[in-house]
Structure 1
Amino acid sequence: MKFKKTFLLLFIIPFLSFTAHKNYLSLTQINYKSESKSIQIVINVFMDDIETALNSDYKINLQLTTKNEFKNNDSYFKRYLKEKIHFKVDNIPKEFKYIGKEYDGDLVYFYLEIENINQLKTIDLTNNILTKHFPEQQNLTKCKLGDKHKSILLTKKENLAKFKYE
């Protein structure tokens, strides 16, 4: 009897106290291309997280990667991204162009571009992707200008990335 209690205390109860914890992380990659005078942006998020956010915010049922997936889901993605991320180049607000998206496993990749950028010294990004629905959300941002690479981890409270290349 004592052995059973000891076994229960030492081996079984610790396993019951652990719960699965989901990571909430997106990646935004910003790359200035001097030859095309544009800033190219790739954002990847987990498909189920973005689907949850859009379904809740817009009262829809996207059903991504199913036969019932909305045919016009790009309009919802574009709207969401325009509401949640904002760029400034050299302290001037800049609108991005939504190029499109693609699915890869459980990720969605969004492709954006800011055109007509002859040169730049600073890029500011405000990123609130998924933070409304997932308070633990972290948005890793990587920026590349020439051979200079910088990274900043953003959160719900700290949602502004400033990249300086002077």
Structure 2
Amino acid sequence: MKQIKSVIFLTLIAFTLMAAGMHKFYVAIFQMDFVPEKEVIQMTSRVFIDDLELAFEKKYGKKFYFGTKKEIPEAKKYLVDYFDKNIKITINEEQKAIKYLGREIEDDVLVCYYTIPAKKVESIEIENTTLFDAYREQQNMVHTNVNNTKKSLLLTYDKPKGKLEY
């Protein structure tokens, strides 16, 4: 419980600093919810569009214009490929495939939806290097809800991987 409160507190500080414009703070939020009756983990990612576009421009040498009329036709392909290469999920010591479902725009955030097959969850190991190639200061917060137990991880450039036991 103390860890969850710390993560929530850090999230609030991060968003406050961004809103205040004190300095640029790079953060993405990932929510993972185990749904036993569907035998899946439903995952949602929330990434600031401007951070993602700048990272993609550096990486691929082109502008993407996510969520606008100028968005390039192959944007989905690049998104699916990028997240597939940068997020690795291991459940109960077995690496799992992540299925991209879709996306939407909420203000200045790109929200993507995924599912991960899981019949039973005793442990989740997450390696998440999203935006680390563009921003060394990037932090990826992972919140989980498994078997009515909430746990969180803060993944950074120096510590891109973590494991949670349930």
For the aligned pair, the TM-score class normalised by the smaller chain equals 0.7 to 0.9
Q: Partners of 2:129 and 2:37 in 1: how far apart? A: 30
Q: TM-score if structure 1 supplies the norm length?
A: 0.84
Q: Which residue of 2 aligns with 1:140?
A: 141
**Equivalent AA in structure 1 for residue 89 of structure 2:** F
Q: CA deviation at 1:57?
A: 1.3
- Looking at structure 2, the residues matched to 37 and 62 of structure 1 have their Cα atoms a distance apart, in angstroms, of 34
Structure 2, gaps ≥5 residues long: 1-20
Task: Give 5+ residue unaligned stretches, structure 1.
Answer: 1-18
Per the normalisation by structure 2, the TM-score is 0.84
In the alignment, what sits opposite 1:36?
38
| AA aligned opposite 1:160 | K
How many equivalent pairs are there? 146
- C-alpha distance in 2 between matches for 1:65 and 1:112: 18
Deviation of 1:20 (Å)? 3.8
Question: What's the CA shift string for 1:12-33, capped at 9, x where partnerless?
Answer: xxxxxxx840110000111110
The residue number in structure 1 matching 2:99 is 97
Amino acid at match of 1:66: T
Deviations 1:112-164 (A, max 9, x none): 1112x211211111000011111111111111112100011110011112110
1:61 corresponds in structure 2 to: 63
Q: Distance in 2 between matches of 1:163 and 1:91?
A: 11
Between the aligned partners of 2:42 and 2:48, the Cα distance in structure 1 is 20
User: Using the alignment, how far apart are the partners of 1:41 and 1:84 within structure 2?
Assistant: 14
What residue is the counterpart of 2:9 in the other structure?
A: none
Aligned-residue identity in percent: 29
Report the structure number with the largest CA radius of gyration: 1
In the alignment, is the contact (CA less than 8 A) between 1:32 and 1:40 conserved in 2?
A: yes
Question: Could you report, residue by residue, the CA deviation over 1:82-110 in whole angstroms, capped at 9, with x for unpaired residues?
Answer: 11110101111111101111111100011
